[in-house]
Amino acid sequence: MTLSFGTDGVRGPAPEILDQRFVTCLAVAATEILSADRWIVGRDTRESGPALSEAMLSAINHAGISAVDCGVIPTPTIAYLSKIENSGGVVVSASHNTWTDNGVKIFAPGGRKLFDQEQELIEKKLNELLSDTTATPERRPDSIQHPNPTEAWMNSIAEAIENRSLDGAHVVIDCANGSASHIAEPLFRGLGAKVDLINAEPDGRNINQDCGSTHTESLSKIVQSAGADIGLALDGDADRLIAIASNGELIDGDRQLCMFATDLDSQNMLLNRSVIITVMSNFGLRQAMRQADITTIEVPVGDRNVLSRLDDGEADLGGEQSGHLIFRKHATTGDGLLSGVLLTDLILRRGNNSAALASEAMQQFPQILINVPVDSKSFTITTDIQKEIEITEERLGDNGRVLVRPSGTEAVIRVMVEAVDEPLAHGEAQRLANMIRSTID
């Protein structure tokens, strides 16, 4: 079994499949396909990270190219450094996955995500190298350490809020025991906020474990008990954000996107009065944007797809329900800490009541999502499954929406149904999921 690129890099069990040889071959392939005479490498806090990162650095050095080690650092920081230092960028991380997985995210010089053709060429070369047992170079762990990998990036976040202070804001930050554990508090305190930090003691195995952007229950309770203005939940590599309002309610990526879009539009700062959304974006977001006379441009799931349309110049704001938001004026990829600072600043400017602002932003339509495990990520939607999808759409009519798609990162089929009535959405989603399970069996 080998691994292939998904919607955001490559990831899998480590070291069972994603091991030192794999990342070594991937590094060789990336340096051969991409034109970069310098690479910046970082990682999150997983137990497998140091060995995989060292193998990546060694392979780049062996190719005669400068490799700079940033150690444990958020993915968006590597993307920012790749941009301002015109270097290739690599992050050894499996994002929101558990510690038993790891992965690799690659940025081309300029901090951009890879074009489809570049990704395909790297994957082709990778598979060639993996099939040749003589292809692994000797180890050369002689990379250099980056002198100050976070300073310029933190300054850019301060500039994004026009150097305003966050004084008066009480923020609780859940670092998911990930790569922002040592950075989040200094960033927000430096901007003037009062900060309570949780899940910021990584041990190699507790990354994303019952915490962070995929498990916000404890953060919700703490925000309410502490009387905080906002809670910010990051994922393991800090490129996404799920927020918690002062009343404990969830502010997912859709609601954040709605809040940011309408705020920017009110200041005449929303390019083309447009925003990029994905096929998973809630119907409530679409409805709110239509009422605000803001155009929504839909793309497939994946922040790489959002970024691609942003770079076409049609809009400068886009994002996903999962909390990947991209502010193209300020960053080349999703940045959970940038989003958190911008959201805190918005709340301060708009009266310091995150619960009211979030509630007023949009009506959240019940959305039921069921993941159906399949044998591989290459599973395709059959004619029978498509027919059942169409029957469900007819039953829902104008009062709901159906989306069934293979995941780009996991071996599952994602079944999503939206409807005004939650029991109806749940029943239709369960029926479709059961039908897919019976087809697989």
At 298 the three-state DSSP class reads: strand
Q: What's the one-letter identity of residue 162?
A: E
Residue 330: CB atoms within 10 A of its CB come to 17
Helices within 401-441 (DSSP H only): 422-440
Residue 203: CB atoms within 10 A of its CB come to 11
The Cα 171–Cα 186 span in angstroms is 13
DSSP secondary structure letters along 236-267:
TTS--EEEEETTS-EE-HHHHHHHHHHHHHHT
SS3 readout for 129-143: HHHCCCCCCCCCCCC
SS3 readout for 40-87: EEEECCCCCHHHHHHHHHHHHHHCCCEEEEEEECCHHHHHHHHHHCCC
**Residue 352: left if φ>0, alpha if ψ -120 to 50, beta else—which one?**
left
Sign of the CA dihedral with 428 first, then 430, 432, and 434 last: negative
Q: Comparing C-alpha atoms, which of 377, 373, 375, 366 is closest to residue 416? A: 366
Q: Comparing C-alpha atoms, which of 112, 137, 117, 121 is closest to residue 23? A: 137
Tracing tokens 């309408």 back to the chain, one arrives at 262
The vertex-170 CA angle with 191 and 189, nearest 5°, equals: 25
Tell how strand 66-72 and strand 38-43 pair up. parallel
Residues 111 and 79: beta-carbon distance below 8 Å? yes
Catalytic residue among 82, 95, 181, 322: 95
Q: How does 345-368 read in b/e, with b if 16+ C-beta sit within 10 Å? A: bbbbeeebebbebbbebbebbbbb
Write the CA distances from 248 to 253, 304, 356, integer angstroms. Answer: 16, 31, 12
Judge whether 246 counts as a catalytic residue: no
Q: Comparing C-alpha atoms, which of 116, 96, 167 is closest to residue 334? A: 96
Residues 404 and 439: beta-carbon distance below 8 Å? no
Give the catalytic positions in this structure.
Answer: 95
